[in-house]
Structure 1
């Protein structure tokens, strides 16, 4: 057991983020008699989930409720939603996250909203200094610098820290280089990241527009399918970094989550039918504003290319924001930015399967900073595949370890559905002429989908 946890046993365990994973961590710790302290930058629980609240998840309720959270909620009279139904982000918040936050508060857990953690260190030890034996950084409590909604900054000490802030606030930029494309920031009024509410609040923005969607993952698929539902007034271009024959649309019928498989199958059928103009490969280099529109300049198969659009949706994934962790001695894989033990299990450069592999405290620990963990989506760094149930297993294992139950920490208590995807290529698609007008999505009852950014 790390000496910092033993030495500072009277201090709380700080959880940063009051999303579904952060609150699950609080429930797991509470169930083991430990004292969590939850710090959330948003005005209430589930702040990040609310930003994609219009999107229906492809994991049903039975995968989305943590075991300790369920026990706490049911002890206060909560009724679980139907296990086979698929919640939207808003339903996840209203029917689970908010009740869980209330239940935790009633159980005596401190939850602080409108409080942003801007830095984490060790008491009297910056990143450089080890300190004296027995009185070094490993024994020192964590110090969290917290900025309130009024701008006032204070510090909080903790015996351990679980960073469950997710990655939603740090979307990848449009450029193929990983940096914002020249002109991307000035053109921000015409650019959206993630999954805009195309069929709801943002309908007027896209209904009669030419929109370029960047990205080949589930967020891009969601967005493209919604744009198609807008009708003939919306022209849709979909750009991939790889040749079309190498684009992975998912596992289809082989996917253990039927909605996820159906999402990819529907997206692929639209491309094959020519309902969407596929640009593959297309690598973005620069964005210029011209006459109220965007000229997106890039490269196709080694040749300069450009398209002119009204709107750009960048759905190229997310990355962890590590800015508040600069004084900690983190052990991160140089490519994925997950821990070195976890990275080989999820690195898309090493294997093509999108399957989430079970893991726990041992894979998430940072040997140079005992007592600090990233959990949830942030723990995956830049890797694209994450399910909410994985975050629940992470915090269950971490809580067991912090409570001294090493056997439970090492035990795997998670079974996840296979993606059905273990190949990076498929037969080359022949692009056909556009199909006749009309919606091609109405016939499919499968819900839209999103992996949870917990």
Structure 2
């Protein structure tokens, strides 16, 4: 394999979600050549998976300034800054138009299967930093290709790898066998088929973040509807309930995020959800009617449920980056300089210091994880955080180091402080794309939900 000279090669961005497309917009603004590779058929493919979920960030907080600058000459009309988009709105009204403006520099149906240095696996030191990156992709027709790049920005998110129900971080015994009754996404109860799955049923909801709050509120609304009589949620938390369990409420600087926690609290207080605390799922068993019985690590057995919704967060898929020299925190799987800023064991107020290329750098020069993927298993990611990340990285790649180091973002606080108790499991997005949010969210709920993205 003869590699081309690094000079003149594009920056490759992995993922056409909110943060990946923002990276492209900033690279364009800096006059840098780039190519965005997206595994899905559309912009915001992961975001579209939670199209029914409303972000808890407003439109004014989820449109990147460089992207808006690109869209303005096309006649694009920005939605009302004060309104809250759904994931579907975000994808259709912003992400897809942005991808359309970028044209053939966004390639769909191109799944990245591996990234390395040309002629250098992760062991080889010699001339490593002078070699271009080589990127293996698989197209939708299973055709394999090889591309070269001067730098790589991975904004592929964590949506494809949700956490399991098992309290150990591994699937609970019987979890895979019970796949017909388990989902790892916030259900769209406006879809008749999905609605009938949960209407009048007893559903376990495992998790304590924005996605769980959203689901509890949805199920409570279903229980109040004519077709939802008998609907009941069993909310399973790995820790106890404290004053911070439901978030910041009216003190949250993102009002819709605070309202989301209050809606979940109302579902519990109203009797639509029973909370089971201190329960770490060890196994799923079937009763005589085929329903699921959850067994805890402490031997407790819960009453049988018809369905289970597992919302225990997401984790990064790092397999395609295995030949690169990444420096990741051993707990969060986030860049080591970023990890202390976002560790839920240490932070509970949402006060993550804005950060950029310096905190996101690795021993492997010019490779960056951004967006939800940069947070590894940590929660509370906001889209604006990702936009600031890629602004800084684009400035650095363009040689504008002063701009790369400058902070251009102030983040809202949750209004809740109190140590590690705020977060039970790492959650959140979208979201890939990322993200997100749900108002479900700006954590990307599913990023939650968001996806990739954040919100």
- The answer to whether residue 391 in structure 2 is matched with residue 399 in structure 1 is no
1:61 is displaced (CA, Å) by: 0.5
2:68 paired with 1:101: no
**Which residue of structure 1 aligns with residue 190 of structure 2?**
199
CA–CA separation in structure 1 for the residues paired with 2:243 and 2:129: 47
In structure 2, C-alpha distance between the alignment counterparts of 1:409 and 1:137, rounded to whole Å:
24
CA shift digits 1:248-292 (9 cap, x unpaired): 211111101000001112212332343311001111001123433
Verify: 1:288 aligned to 2:279, yes or no: no
- RMSD of aligned Cα (Å): 1.7
Alignment partner of 1:304: what SS?
Answer: coil
**1:126 paired to 2:121:** yes
Select which of 235, 243, 250 maps to 1:253: 250
Gaps of 5+ in 2: 224-228, 422-437, 445-451
Summarize deviations over 1:21-72 as a string: whole Å, max 9, x none: 1011001001111011010000111100000000000000111011110000
Q: Which deviates further from its counterpart, 346-355 or 114-123?
A: 346-355
Matched, 1:221 2:216: no
Pair 1:187 & 2:178 matched: yes
Report the secondary structure of 1:212's partner residue. strand
CA distance in 2, matches of 1:213, 1:188: 15
Write out aligned runs for 1:35-434 (5 A).
35-105=33-103, 110-131=105-126, 136-201=127-192, 202-231=194-223, 232-245=229-242, 248-290=245-287, 291-299=289-297, 302-366=298-362, 368-424=363-419
The CA distance in 2 between the partners of 1:294 and 1:154, in whole Å, is: 45
Shift of 1:247: 5.7
**Displacement, 1:246?**
6.6
Superposed CA offset, 1:296-342 (max 9, x none): 1114xx45333311100001110111111111110000111111110
Q: 1:350/1:447 Cα in 2 relative to 1: closer, same or farther (>3 Å)?
A: closer
Match of 1:3 in 2: none
Structure 2: distance between partners of 1:117 and 1:448? 30
Q: Provide the rounded CA distance (Å) in 2 between the counterparts of 1:211 and 1:356.
A: 34
Q: Would the alpha carbon gap of residues 181 and 246 (structure 1) be closer, same or farther in structure 2, given more than 3 Å must change?
A: farther
Q: Give 1:417 shift.
A: 1.3
The 1:357–1:199 alpha-carbon spacing in structure 2 relative to 1, beyond 3 Å, is farther
Give the secondary structure class of the aligned counterpart of 1:138.
helix
1:27 to 22, 25, 28: 25
In 2, the alpha carbon distance for the partners of 1:199 and 1:224 equals: 15
345-354 vs 317-326, which deviates more?
345-354
Q: Which ranges of structure 1 fall in alignment gaps of 5 or more residues?
A: 1-5, 427-445
Helix, strand or coil at the partner of 2:208: coil
The equivalent of 1:435 in structure 2 is none
- Matched residues in 1 for 2:32 and 2:114: separation? 24
Per the TM alignment, residue 7 of structure 1 is displaced from its structure 2 partner at its CA by 6.3
1:18 aligns with: 16
Deviations 1:171-225 (A, max 9, x none): 0000000001111111111111021212335111101211000000000000110
CA distance in 2, matches of 1:369, 1:247: 39
The DSSP-based 3-state class of the residue aligned with 1:306 is coil
TM-score normalised by L of structure 2? 0.89
Deviates more, 1:302-311 or 1:322-331: 302-311
Question: How far does the alpha carbon of each residue in 1:371-390 deviate from its partner, in whole angstroms, 9 at most, with x for none?
Answer: 00011000000001101111
Change (3 A) 1:394 1:307: same
C-alpha displacement of 1:449: 3.4
